[in-house]
């Protein structure tokens, strides 16, 4: 039972919420409904319509395929289709936060990718013997990219840096373990 709860908490912290997409969809639907309700209320009270009477909207929608510009209708249809696909994907796919989990016996520690990147940059910088400004590390869910600008006249072995970064990932028990790629710039930095 404890294991199940730990996995549930881990997944909650590693995946992003679907709430923003839900709020946007709800606000759009509520705005359309409120406008339609307002127009119907104005008609029921015998007041002039704000934009158009409800029967005018229904007639316009009914005649749209006959009187509308085909290019405009196609463009509108494609935009509505894309909006629908975006909302569908938001609902079906899991979003990932920029975080990784570290298993610590009975516990799980959630660490931000920027913290991991700083740790890996320090290790790569120490291994290469370069200054802080010469190393850039980007951590994503499945990949670690190390970009290194060596000091002029001091060669850097990319495989040695990759091995050091992979060792740092293993030492820190990062899960899931991302793949590591190292790119050493062809031009060096003078005076570092």
pTM tops 0.85, yes or no: no
Query: Who has greater pLDDT, 123 or 141?
Result: 123
Mean per-residue pLDDT, 131-152: 89
Long-range contacts of 20-29 (CB under 8 A, 24+ apart): 21/86, 21/87, 21/90, 21/91, 25/87
Mean per-residue pLDDT, 136-150: 90
Q: What is the CA radius of gyration of the chain?
A: 28
Q: Which CATH architecture has domain 100-184?
A: 2-Layer Sandwich (3.30)
Rounded to an integer, what distance in angstroms lies between the CA atom of residue 28 and that of residue 25? 5
Measured torsion, CA atoms of residues 150, 156, 159, 163, in degrees rounded to the nearest 10: -80
Question: 44 and 54 in contact (C-beta within 8 Å)?
Answer: no
Mean per-residue pLDDT, 131-153: 89
Instruction: Kindly give, in sequence order, each residue whose CB lies less than 8 Å from that of residue 97, ignoring residues fewer than 6 positions away.
Output: 13, 14, 15, 16
Mean per-residue pLDDT, 92-111: 78
1 — pLDDT class (breaks 50, 70, 90): low
Beta-bridge mates of residue 151? 189
Instruction: Kindly give, in sequence order, each residue whose CB lies less than 8 Å from that of residue 108, ignoring residues fewer than 6 positions away.
Output: 6, 9, 10, 101, 102
Q: Is the confidence at residue 191, as pLDDT, over 80? A: no
Question: 42 and 51 in contact (C-beta within 8 Å)?
Answer: no
Q: Is the confidence at residue 192, as pLDDT, over 60? A: no
Structural domain spans, the chain: 16-92, 100-184
Rounded to an integer, what distance in angstroms lies between the CA atom of residue 88 and that of residue 92? 6
Strands across the sheet containing 179-184: 135-139, 143-148, 179-184
- Cα atoms in the 13 Å half-sphere on the side-chain side of 73: 9
């Amino acid at each position: 039972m404890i294991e199940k709860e730990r996995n549930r908490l881990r997944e909650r912290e590693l995946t992003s919420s679907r709430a923003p997409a839900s709020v946007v969809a709800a606000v759009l639907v509520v705005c359309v409904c409120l406008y339609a309700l307002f127009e119907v209320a104005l008609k029921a009270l015998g007041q002039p319509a704000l934009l158009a009477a409800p029967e005018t909207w229904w007639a316009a929608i009914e005649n749209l395929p006959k009187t509308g510009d085909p290019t405009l209708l196609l463009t509108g249809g494609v935009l509505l289709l894309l909006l629908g696909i975006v909302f569908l994907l938001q609902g079906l796919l899991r979003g990932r936060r920029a975080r990784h989990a570290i298993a610590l016996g009975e516990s799980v520690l959630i660490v931000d990718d920027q913290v991991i990147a700083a740790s890996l940059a320090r290790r790569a910088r120490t291994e290469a013997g370069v200054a802080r400004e010469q190393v850039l590390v980007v951590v994503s869910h499945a990949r670690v990219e190390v970009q290194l600008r060596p000091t002029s006249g001091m060669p850097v072995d990319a495989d040695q840096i990759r091995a050091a970064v992979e060792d740092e990932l293993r030492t820190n028990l990062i899960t899931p373990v991302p793949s590591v790629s190292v790119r050493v710039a062809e031009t060096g930095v003078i005076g570092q």
